[in-house]
Amino acid sequence: MPNVPEDIGTVLRTMQAQIRELQGRVNTRPALNHISGGGVTIDQGGTLSVITPGGQTVLYVGAIGPAHPDGSPQYGMVLRREDGSAALAVWDGAGASPQPLAIWDRAGNTILADDRVAGAGLARPYISTDAWFGAVEAPAFTTNSATFVTLQNLPWVKQHPRVTAHYLVKADAGVAGEIQLVDDNNVVIAGPITVAAGAWTYSSATGPLAGALYSSTYLHWQARVTSGTGVIGVRGLSTFGVQS
């Protein structure tokens, strides 16, 4: 004969206690859409997608087509705008490897990408410079002043915290001097740079640039004679904004 509880009330009270305990455990756990600690791992070909109410995937992370040429799956990340145009990705449209990091405009043009062949530096955009100078060229603007005189000016928009400025300098025989790069407020960016008597040389100088980001200013090359009779001249060459 099966065991039958003598008091059905005891059984009910036990069940109620167990239910309350389970409810308490549920209430003390984070919601399923919240992670209070640790991390999330997606593996075995899993993916993460963020999809708009209209059905457009704006973020995709994980296994992504096409596969690599050897048939192995490609893993990457694609970020799209709400209109569906690609904005940023670590992904290759042909499945090639290594994948580039790329940013596109809305028309689908690559506006920024790293060089995956070299493994270092930019693939896009192309950056040009036009400051060629002659093998025996002398600066056109010179001074015999014993105090700094501005010889060349360059319009500039600040986009980086520092500036690297290339230059060509020449001093007459028996004349020594100094050059420096300054901003509109005559704050020295780089220099003074010593120029030996009779020197003809080219080099570069780097220094911090004051002012707000995207502010417009001018850079100025200055020169002065420190000894001897004659002139010293400086010509600014390619100039770049650089990181700290």
219: domain CATH number is 2.60.120.260
Residue 31 lies in a domain: no
Q: Given pLDDT bands bounded at 50, 70 and 90, which one contains residue 15?
A: confident
Question: How does pLDDT run across 133-180, given as a tens digit for each residue?
Answer: 888 889 999 999 999 999 999 999 999 999 999 999 999 999 999 999
Residue 113 lies in a domain: yes
Q: Given pLDDT bands bounded at 50, 70 and 90, which one contains residue 129?
A: confident
Regarding whether 95 and 157 lie in a shared domain, the answer is no
59, 86, 120 — which closes off a domain?
120
Question: How does pLDDT run across 103-115, given as a tens digit for each residue?
Answer: 999 999 999 998 8
Regarding whether 168 and 77 lie in a shared domain, the answer is no
Average pLDDT over residues 214-229: 96
Regarding whether 146 and 229 lie in a shared domain, the answer is yes
Statement: residue 45 has pLDDT above 50: yes
Residue 203 lies in a domain: yes
Number of domains in the chain: 2
Average pLDDT over residues 45-72: 91
- For residue 103, count CB atoms less than 10 angstroms from its CB and return exposed for 0-12, middle for 13-18, buried for 19 or more: middle
For the chain, the average pLDDT equals: 89
Average pLDDT over residues 221-237: 97
Regarding whether 174 and 83 lie in a shared domain, the answer is no
Regarding whether 149 and 109 lie in a shared domain, the answer is no
Average pLDDT over residues 12-27: 74
Q: Which residue has the higher pLDDT, 160 or 18?
A: 160
Residue 105 lies in a domain: yes
Residue 226 lies in a domain: yes
Regarding whether 150 and 73 lie in a shared domain, the answer is no
CA 33 to each of CA 29, 30, 226: distance values in angstroms, whole numbers, following the listed order: 11, 8, 72
73, 90, 120 — which closes off a domain?
120
Strand order of the β-sheet with 110-114 is 47-51, 57-64, 74-80, 86-90, 101-104, 110-114, 122-124
Check residue 36 and give its pLDDT.
Answer: 73
Residue 12 lies in a domain: no
Domain extent for 156: 142-242
